[in-house]
Structure 1
Amino acid sequence: MPATDALANQLSDADKRGIRLKSVSLSEPVTPAEAFAVQRETLALNNWLTGGYKVAIRPDGGSVSAPMAHITHASESGTAGFERPAVDALEVEICFVLGKDLTPAGGTPYTRETLLGYVAGIYSGVEFLGHRLDDGSKSPALLFLADRLGNAGYVRGEELPAKLIEPGQSYPLTITINGDTVFEGPGKHPNDDPVAAFLLFANTITETVAKGRIITTGSLCGAIPTPAHAAIAISGFTTLAVTAISTREG
């Protein structure tokens, strides 16, 4: 069995069981291409559809991304439920929904203006993290990439006005979990611009990203740990209530 297939099977099993694997016992991908192959194989093993991508900018300025499965849309009243074997943390984010297929840029790179022409809507969102590696985001970089950057799933919230993606903003944001305030204060995007990582991703892709997919580009509050049963209330620049359950302890 190829090393990428073996790692995909190990990560898939860990996902189903809600457990963490010891990084030192795993075969780390040698290249980003191998890590991306593990991502794809993990989804294929489970017949999970790619509903979107989480994208970021590496410290060296390159693009890094991971496919997201298990995407839920909040109701019109702003409520949602989320349940997976492992739900370790949440991140409040801004995401983009593609209104048409996003094709590889070819010889004409996307600009901010042309890229936003592919966007049907801008939304708030909550990414849930469910690490399959013992050190989570501190695991070896290519293992963490192979683990889909720790993604467990996503809840898409309400539609937002376009002015909220202008660079340099802070976002009024309060988050409570089971009645306790865990974040209060201005949220900030890690790149100071919600579009920056999306633009880099768009100019890096080699395969078309289909209409309707979600692109999310970074947390406004960092990663906030969640208990096994979490009643989450988000207010400020958006309003959203999510009940998140980690079934590994149930």
Structure 2
Amino acid sequence: MPAGSATTTLARQLSDADNGGMRLATATLAEPGTPAEAFTVQSETLALNGWLTVGYKVAIRPDGSSISAPMAHITHASESGTAGFERPAVDALEVEICFVLGKDLPPPGAKSYTRETLLGYVSGIYSGVEFLGHRLDNGSRSPALLFLADRLGNAGYVLGEELPAEVLEPGQDFPLVITINGGTAFSGPGKHPNGDPVAPFLAFANALTEPVAQGRIITTGSLCGAIPTPERAAIAISGFTTLTVTAASTREI
């Protein structure tokens, strides 16, 4: 993909698809040539809509490097553990463990972050629900740099209840039951894909080139995989956390 106008064109295509709840034919799109171009598309998509970056979805590539996408739509659950979430397209959910920054997180400088120094920037550990709303017809199976440009399919996030620090101990399973419209969608041990919720956060922090502001949410991977959701979904989550979310794809309303 050439720089400049091509990244802006892709950003506008993804923005229009996001706002209309549509999926684009991957074969018709110009794939970014580098991760840097994909990150530029992410930023331009948010800028076109006037959306602020309120958090980051982060993961680790097979080679150990960091991959990330900005999140723009965050809902906070009430004290009673309920929330509503609406976007033009809500295709799936993932139950996760996330971090909220208690102060600005700067690039690492001469010394890399360690697990201990990184957690010193965290004000709280929370449960959360990431919602996916793919703008690409092949979703996560799309070419890697297109999927990255599409903000890794993120539609938004619901921040749940605060959790004890013990949930960060590596290698844990988490009791987890998810029902959707009264039917069981997941029941069993939830497992982080890296075996450690901190690992992707650490890779992300050590790859930073600019600060991440206080209050931003960092979420690091699904405990249950991606679970498809209908256009209207009454979601009840229990086990290691308790959360009730009513989600809807507004294109269907």
TM-score normalised to the size of structure 2? 0.98
Is 2:122 the counterpart of 1:115?
Answer: no
User: Aligned letter for 1:44?
Assistant: A
* Matched position secondary structure for 1:175: strand
- Specify which of 32, 45, 51 is matched with residue 48 of structure 2: 45
Alpha-carbon deviation of 1:60?
A: 1.7
The equivalent residue for 1:96 is 99
Aligned mates of 1:92, 1:110 — CA distance in 2: 26
User: Aligned letter for 1:125?
Assistant: G
Aligned mates of 2:208, 2:119 — CA distance in 1: 16
User: Aligned letter for 2:186?
Assistant: F
Aligned mates of 1:244, 1:60 — CA distance in 2: 35
The equivalent residue for 2:215 is 212
1:199-230 C-alpha deviation (Å, 9 max, x unpaired)? 00000010100000000000000000000000
Is 2:100 the counterpart of 1:87?
Answer: no
1:8-23 mapped onto 2 (5 Å cutoff): 8-23=11-26
Alpha-carbon deviation of 1:2?
A: 1.0
TM-score normalised to the size of structure 1? 0.99
The equivalent residue for 1:74 is 77
* Matched position secondary structure for 1:34: helix
Alpha-carbon deviation of 1:18?
A: 0.2
* Structure 1 runs (4+) greater than 6 angstroms displaced: none
Alpha-carbon deviation of 1:59?
A: 1.3
RMSD after superposition: 0.5
Is 2:215 the counterpart of 1:221?
Answer: no
My pick for the range that moved more, 56-65 or 216-225, is 56-65
The equivalent residue for 2:195 is 192
- Specify which of 28, 31, 40 is matched with residue 28 of structure 1: 31
Aligned mates of 1:213, 1:18 — CA distance in 2: 26
Aligned mates of 2:45, 2:25 — CA distance in 1: 18
Q: Percent identity?
A: 80
1:93-146 C-alpha deviation (Å, 9 max, x unpaired)? 000000000000011100000000000000000000000000000000000000
User: Aligned letter for 1:133?
Assistant: L
User: Aligned letter for 1:245?
Assistant: A
Q: How many residues align?
A: 250
The equivalent residue for 2:152 is 149
* Structure 2: gaps spanning 5 or more residues: none
